[in-house]
Amino acid sequence: MSVSIHPTAIIEAGAVIGDGCDIQAGAIIGRHVVLGERVVVYPYAVVGGDPQHLKFDRATASGVRIGSGTVIREHATVNRAAQPGGETIVGERCFLMANSHVGHDCVLADDVVLANNVMLAGHVHVGAFTFIGGGAGVHQFARIGESAMVSGLSRISRDLAPFTITAERDEVSGLNLVGLKRRGFSREAIGELKKAFRAVYFGAGNIRELAAAQLAGGGYTTVEARRFLEFFGGGKRGFSRATRVVAEDTHD
């Protein structure tokens, strides 16, 4: 495979460009950036720029790793890690639309979509197959689980569990059933996810303790339901909360 680099693109010494990449006009690829195969970087995107951190030492050696098949559209920015030897990571087949921002030390799993103007602060983790709508903002250190859907203009300041939908400010409205069916989840898995969702979000007590109790004694057999429950065992920011009326009306 060949690599296509427009004459006005800037690739700093030390960057690694994979086979089949297309670096378009005015794009900037910083040092210590590694692009997998077939990555497309559209005009004026900046990959590997310095972290937006007031105390950052520009002499710090850190980088960015972009997975194969990822597309980075116009004016998108992916900042390098703030910690020495660290990497900001974007997985395979991700789609970062125009003007989206991935802050330092973020980790995006495979098949993540960031719509236009999405803002991810530093140290955000996003699970596979997640879609984040246009203009949404995500607080630093927040976790978003796999196959979640975040509505446009949402504000995420707490952890968002896998397989859920959220809107406004940390308001979970139910399971991302359309996304789960598109991924081919079995009826059994979806049924167990519904059971786990109700037990965790509408049970009486601490949400971490409710999830742990379900994981230990709820009789769940599918890996999807267990991953949903295991999510509540980690993180430091607390969790987005469900709106009972919307969730029950939509998913009973």
Catalytic residues: 104-105, 122
- Assess whether 127 and 189 both reside in one domain: no
d(CA 17, CA 12): 11
Contact 102, 75 (CB under 8 A): no
Contact 162, 147 (CB under 8 A): yes
The three-point CA angle 195-199-204 to 5° equals: 165
Of 88, 114, 141, which one is at a domain's C-terminal end?
141
- Assess whether 128 and 192 both reside in one domain: no
Q: Give a yes or no: residue 99 inside a domain.
A: yes
* Closest CA relative to residue 139, chosen from 106, 112, 109, 111: 106
Q: Give a yes or no: residue 203 inside a domain.
A: yes
User: Which pLDDT value is given to residue 236?
Assistant: 87
Q: Give a yes or no: residue 61 inside a domain.
A: yes
The set of residues, in sequence order, having a beta carbon less than 8 Å from that of 11 and lying 6+ positions away, is 5, 17, 23, 28, 29
User: Which pLDDT value is given to residue 244?
Assistant: 64
Of 86, 112, 141, which one is at a domain's C-terminal end?
141
Q: Give a yes or no: residue 134 inside a domain.
A: yes
- Assess whether 132 and 225 both reside in one domain: no
- Assess whether 195 and 119 both reside in one domain: no
Q: Which residues pair with 94 in a beta bridge?
A: none
The low-confidence residues of the chain, meaning pLDDT below 50, are: 245-252
- Assess whether 33 and 130 both reside in one domain: yes
The three-point CA angle 90-138-31 to 5° equals: 35
- Assess whether 109 and 223 both reside in one domain: no
Q: How far is CA 127 from CA 7, 108, 144, 180, 202, in A?
A: 36, 6, 6, 14, 24
Of 114, 141, 168, which one is at a domain's C-terminal end?
141
User: Which pLDDT value is given to residue 250?
Assistant: 42
Tens digits of per-residue pLDDT, 38-49? 999 999 999 999
d(CA 196, CA 194): 5
The domain of 49 spans 4-141
- Assess whether 129 and 238 both reside in one domain: no
Q: What is the 3-state secondary structure (H, E, C) of 4-48?
A: EECCCCEECCCCEECCCCEECCCCEECCCEEECCCCEECCCCEEE
- Assess whether 119 and 184 both reside in one domain: no
Q: How many CB atoms lie within 10 A of CB 16?
A: 14
Q: Give a yes or no: residue 168 inside a domain.
A: no
d(CA 245, CA 248): 5
Tens digits of per-residue pLDDT, 89-115? 999 999 999 999 999 999 999 999 999
Q: Give a yes or no: residue 170 inside a domain.
A: no
Domain of residue 81, CATH code: 2.160.10.10
- Assess whether 188 and 121 both reside in one domain: no
- Assess whether 195 and 132 both reside in one domain: no
Q: How many domains does the chain have?
A: 2
- Assess whether 30 and 127 both reside in one domain: yes
pTM value is 0.95
User: Which pLDDT value is given to residue 249?
Assistant: 42
Q: What is the mean pLDDT of the chain?
A: 95
Q: Give a yes or no: residue 65 inside a domain.
A: yes
Q: Give a yes or no: residue 19 inside a domain.
A: yes
- Assess whether 184 and 234 both reside in one domain: yes
